Structure 1
Amino acid sequence: MSQFEFTHRRKNPLTGKWVLVSPHRNNRPWLGATEQNAPSNLPEYKSTCPLCPGNHRANDTCNPAYDNTFVFTNDFGALTTQATDPSAVLNNDNPLFEIEQATGECRVICFSPKHNKTLPELSVAEIRAVVDTWKQNYIELSAQYACVHIFENKGEVMGCSQPHPHGQVWAHNHLSTEIQLEQDNQRTYQQNHGGNLLGDYVKHESADGERVVYENEHWLVIVPFWAAWPFETLLVCKDDIRQFGQLTDTQSTTLAEAIKVLTTRYDNVFNCSFPYSMGWHSAPSNLTDNSYWRLHAHFYPPLLRSATVKKHMVGYEMLAESQRDLSPETAAKILKNASDIHYSQGNHNE
Structure 2
Amino acid sequence: MWFTVALITAIFFSIASGQNAFAGAVGFGAAATGGNDGTTVYVTNLNDSGTGSFRDAVSESNRIIEFNVSGYIELASAVSLSSDITINGQTAPDDGIGIMAGEVSASGQNNIIIRNLRIRQGTLDSDTGKSAFNMGDTSNIILDHCSFEYGQWDTVDAVGAVNITVSNSIIALPIGQQFGAHVETGPSTFYGNLWVSAHNRQPLAKDNTQYINNIVYNYQAAYTTADTSGDFYHDIINNYFIAGPSTTSSGDAFFQVNAGQTVYASGNFIDSNKDGTLNGEADNTVGGATVASTPWADTSLNMAMLSAAEAYTSVLENAGATPRDEVDSYVVSLVKSLGTEGAIIGSQDDTGLSNGGYGTL
Normalised TM-score (structure 1): 0.26
Q: Which has the higher contact order (CA 8 A, sep 6+)?
A: 1
Larger Rg: 1
* Higher strand proportion (structure 1 or 2): 2
Normalised TM-score (structure 2): 0.26
